[in-house]
C-alpha cells in the first residue's frame, strides 16, 4: 500500500530536507498523470521556484522525484514547460493512425474463402477474390478485390482471422519401410547373432579416411572387421557380404543402429536371401548396441587410433584386418564374459571372475554342440590348427608390425603384395619418422621446459 501525504506543498525547505532524510526506504506513487502534474504545479508555485538558488532548486527536485516517482529527465521537462506556459495540463495523446481499409467482416470473408478452398496460396486466393467481384459481381468482395498478396498473409496472422479459422493437424508418425524390426536380439545362448557398427577413420587436410565395419557376435564375442572407402551401396555391399562370410558359424541375426548405410532395401534383401533376422536399435535404448560400440574403442580405435589413412587405402586396410587383426582378436585376445545375477528386486548385476576371461574361440568351443553351428567351409580341426599357428604374443607382434607398415606411406608399394599373401611380418624396415598413429593428438601432454 502506497502512503499518502496531505498538502505536500506547505512544507518549507528545512522540512523537505528532513522528509527526504527520514523517508529513504519509503516510496510514494501518484494515482494518475493528472494528480502527478497537479502536485508538481502546486509545489513549484508555493515555493516560488524560479527565484530560488541552485541548491534549493536541487532540494525541491529531489522532493518532487520522491513524491511523484518521476525520473530526473521527466521532471526537468515538466519544470521547463511550467516556466514557459505557467501551467501543466494533461493533453490528449494524438497518435497518427492510418485509415482502416479492411474491416472485421472482410477478415471473416477471407477466412471463409480460405476455408472452402482448403487454404490455397496467397496469389491464388487474390485471384479468386478479384474474380468474385469483377466476373461474378458480388458486392461484398469489393474491398478484398484489390488486396495485395502480402496483405493477405498479414490478415491471416491477425487474431480476428485465427478466431474464425483454426486448422489443427495432428503430427503424422513417420512410417518406416518394413526392412528391419525394432527390437533387441535374443540369441538364447546360440552363436550367430551379430551386432554391427561403423567407425570412421576421420578427415585430415581435406583427405577423407575409410570406414571400418565392425561386427561382433553377441554370445562368443567373435569379431570380424572390414574396411570400405565410402558408405555408398556400391562399395558397402561386397564388403558386407565378405564380412559375413568370415564368421565360422551360421549367421542368424544382424543388428545395427538406425543408420541409412544398413537400413536400406539392398541390405535387407541380402539378409533376407541369407535367412538372417534384421533388427535395429530401439529409441532411447542405448544398451541395444552397446557390445559393438565398446569394441569400437577397445579394438578398432586402440589398434588404428586417429592416424591418417586415405580412402583409397580401404582395400589394404581390409587385408590387414583379414590377415592379422581378425585372427588375433578371435584366437589370442581374451574377452570378459560376465556372470549375470538377478536379485529379488529384479536388478541385474554383472560379475567378472578370473576364470571368465576367454578368447572368442575358447568361448565358441565351450558351447554345447558348437560344431553343428559351423559352416561347411569351416571345421573344428581347421579352427584348432589356426589357433595354434602362433602364440598370443607372437600374434600381437605380427599385428603391430603390419599396422606400422600400413601407416608408413613410403613403404606402401612394397606392403600391398605381402599383405595379399599374408606375409607382412617379413618386412623389417625402419618406421616412418612421423608420430605413432595410435596416439590421440587430443590427449597429448606437453611437458614443461627444463629451467636453466
Please provide the DSSP assignment of 222-243 as one string: -EEEEEES---HHHHHHHHHHH
Do 145 and 133 touch, CB atoms closer than 8 A? yes
Residue 102 three-state SS:
coil
Least confident of 238-242, 277-281, 413-417: 413-417
CA 166 to CA 114: how far, in whole Å?
Answer: 11
Per-residue confidence band for 164, with pLDDT thresholds at 50, 70 and 90:
confident
Cell 551386432 belongs to 195
Q: What integer pLDDT is reported at residue 4 of this predicted model?
A: 53
Per-residue confidence band for 49, with pLDDT thresholds at 50, 70 and 90:
confident
Residue-number span of the structural domain to which 206 is assigned: 184-426
Same domain, 405 and 285: yes
CA distances from 210 to 8, 96, 225, 258 (A): 86, 68, 13, 20
Q: What's the domain count of the chain?
A: 3
pLDDT digits (tens, 9 = 90+) for 84-141: 888 887 777 667 777 888 999 999 999 998 888 877 888 989 988 988 999 889 999 9
Same domain, 142 and 209: no
Q: Which of 78-92, 175-189, 252-266, 396-410 has the highest mean pLDDT?
A: 252-266
CA 391 to CA 396: how far, in whole Å?
Answer: 9
Cβ burial, residue 206 (10 Å; 0-12/13-18/19+): exposed
Residue 107 three-state SS:
helix
Same domain, 369 and 238: yes
Residue 132 within any structural domain of the chain: yes
Residue 171 within any structural domain of the chain: no
Same domain, 144 and 30: no
Same domain, 321 and 203: yes
Q: Which residues contact 269 (CB under 8 A, 6 or more apart)?
A: none
Same domain, 409 and 357: yes
pLDDT digits (tens, 9 = 90+) for 369-382: 999 999 999 999 99
Do 141 and 133 touch, CB atoms closer than 8 A? yes
417 vs 326, more confident: 326
Q: What integer pLDDT is reported at residue 442 of this predicted model?
A: 47
CA 106 to CA 119: how far, in whole Å?
Answer: 17
Q: What integer pLDDT is reported at residue 147 of this predicted model?
A: 92
Question: For the domain that residue 210 is a member of, what is the CATH number?
Answer: 3.30.420.10
Same domain, 324 and 210: yes
Do 82 and 57 touch, CB atoms closer than 8 A? no
CA 83 to CA 50: how far, in whole Å?
Answer: 8
Q: Which residues contact 10 (CB under 8 A, 6 or more apart)?
A: 46
Q: What integer pLDDT is reported at residue 405 of this predicted model?
A: 87
Same domain, 238 and 384: yes
Residue 363 within any structural domain of the chain: yes
Q: Which of 29, 50, 85 is the last residue of a domain?
A: 85
Residue 215 within any structural domain of the chain: yes
Name which of 39, 38, 33, 25 is nearest 67 in CA terms: 39
Do 187 and 283 touch, CB atoms closer than 8 A? no
Same domain, 234 and 374: yes
Q: Which of 116, 134, 164 is the last residue of a domain?
A: 164
Same domain, 336 and 202: yes
Residue 191 within any structural domain of the chain: yes
Residue 201 within any structural domain of the chain: yes
DSSP 141-209: GTTGGG--HHHHHHHHTSHHHHHH-----PPPPP---TTSEES----TT-S-EEEEEEEE--EETTEEP
Same domain, 255 and 373: yes
Same domain, 220 and 304: yes
CA 68 to CA 154: how far, in whole Å?
Answer: 42
Residue 451 within any structural domain of the chain: no
Name which of 311, 308, 318, 326 is nearest 408 in CA terms: 308
Residue 440 within any structural domain of the chain: no
Amino acid at each position: 500500500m502506497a502512503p499518502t501525504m496531505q498538502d505536500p506543498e506547505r512544507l518549507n525547505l528545512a522540512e523537505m530536507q528532513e522528509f527526504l532524510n527520514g523517508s529513504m526506504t519509503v516510496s510514494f506513487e501518484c494515482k494518475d498523470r493528472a494528480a502527478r502534474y497537479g502536485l508538481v504545479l502546486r509545489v513549484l508555485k508555493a515555493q516560488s521556484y524560479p527565484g530560488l538558488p541552485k541548491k534549493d532548486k536541487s532540494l525541491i527536485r529531489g522532493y518532487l522525484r520522491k513524491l511523484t516517482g518521476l525520473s530526473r529527465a521527466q521532471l526537468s521537462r515538466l519544470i521547463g514547460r511550467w516556466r514557459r506556459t505557467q501551467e501543466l495540463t494533461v493533453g490528449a495523446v494524438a497518435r497518427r493512425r492510418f485509415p482502416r481499409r479492411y474491416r472485421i467482416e472482410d477478415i471473416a470473408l477471407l477466412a471463409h474463402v480460405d476455408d472452402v478452398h482448403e487454404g490455397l496460396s496467397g496469389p491464388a486466393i487474390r485471384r479468386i477474390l478479384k474474380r468474385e467481384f469483377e466476373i461474378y459481381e458480388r458486392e461484398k468482395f469489393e474491398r478484398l478485390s484489390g488486396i495485395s498478396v502480402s496483405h493477405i498473409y498479414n490478415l491471416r496472422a491477425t487474431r480476428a482471422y485465427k478466431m474464425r479459422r483454426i486448422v489443427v493437424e495432428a503430427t503424422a508418425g513417420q512410417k518406416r519401410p518394413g526392412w528391419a524390426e525394432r527390437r533387441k536380439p535374443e540369441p538364447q545362448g546360440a552363436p550367430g547373432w551379430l551386432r554391427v557398427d561403423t567407425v570412421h577413420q576421420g578427415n585430415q587436410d581435406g583427405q577423407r579416411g575409410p570406414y571400418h565395419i565392425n561386427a561382433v557376435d553377441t554370445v562368443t564375442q567373435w569379431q570380424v572387421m572390414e574396411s570400405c572407402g565410402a558408405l555408398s551401396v556400391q562399395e558397402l555391399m561386397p564388403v558386407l557380404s565378405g564380412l559375413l562370410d568370415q564368421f565360422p558359424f551360421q549367421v542368424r541375426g544382424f543388428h545395427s543402429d538406425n543408420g541409412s548405410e544398413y537400413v536400406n532395401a539392398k541390405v535387407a534383401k541380402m539378409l533376407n536371401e541369407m535367412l538372417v533376422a534384421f533388427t535395429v536399435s530401439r529409441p532411447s535404448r542405448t544398451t541395444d548396441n552397446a557390445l559393438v560400440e565398446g569394441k569400437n574403442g577397445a579394438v578398432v580405435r586402440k589398434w588404428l587410433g586417429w592416424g591418417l589413412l586415405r580412402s583409397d587405402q580401404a582395400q589394404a586396410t581390409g587385408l590387414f584386418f583379414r590377415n592379422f587383426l581378425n585372427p588375433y582378436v578371435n584366437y589370442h585376445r581374451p574377452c570378459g564374459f560376465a556372470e549375470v545375477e538377478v536379485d529379488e528386486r529384479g536388478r541385474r548385476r554383472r560379475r567378472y571372475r578370473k576364470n571368465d576371461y576367454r578368447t572368442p574361440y575358447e568361448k565358441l568351443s565351450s558351447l554345447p554342440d558348437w560344431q553343428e553351428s559351423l559352416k561347411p567351409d569351416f571345421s573344428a580341426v581347421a579352427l584348432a590348427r589356426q589357433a595354434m599357428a602362433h602364440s598370443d604374443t607372437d600374434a600381437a607382434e605380427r599385428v603391430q608390425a603390419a599396422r606400422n607398415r600400413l601407416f608408413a606411406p613410403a613403404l606402401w608399394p612394397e606392403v600391398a603384395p605381402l599383405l595379399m599373401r599374408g606375409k607382412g611380418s617379413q618386412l623389417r624396415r625402419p618406421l616412418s619418422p612421423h608420430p605413432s598413429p595410435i596416439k590421440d593428438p587430443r590427449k597429448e601432454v606437453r611437458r614443461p621446459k627444463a629451467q636453466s
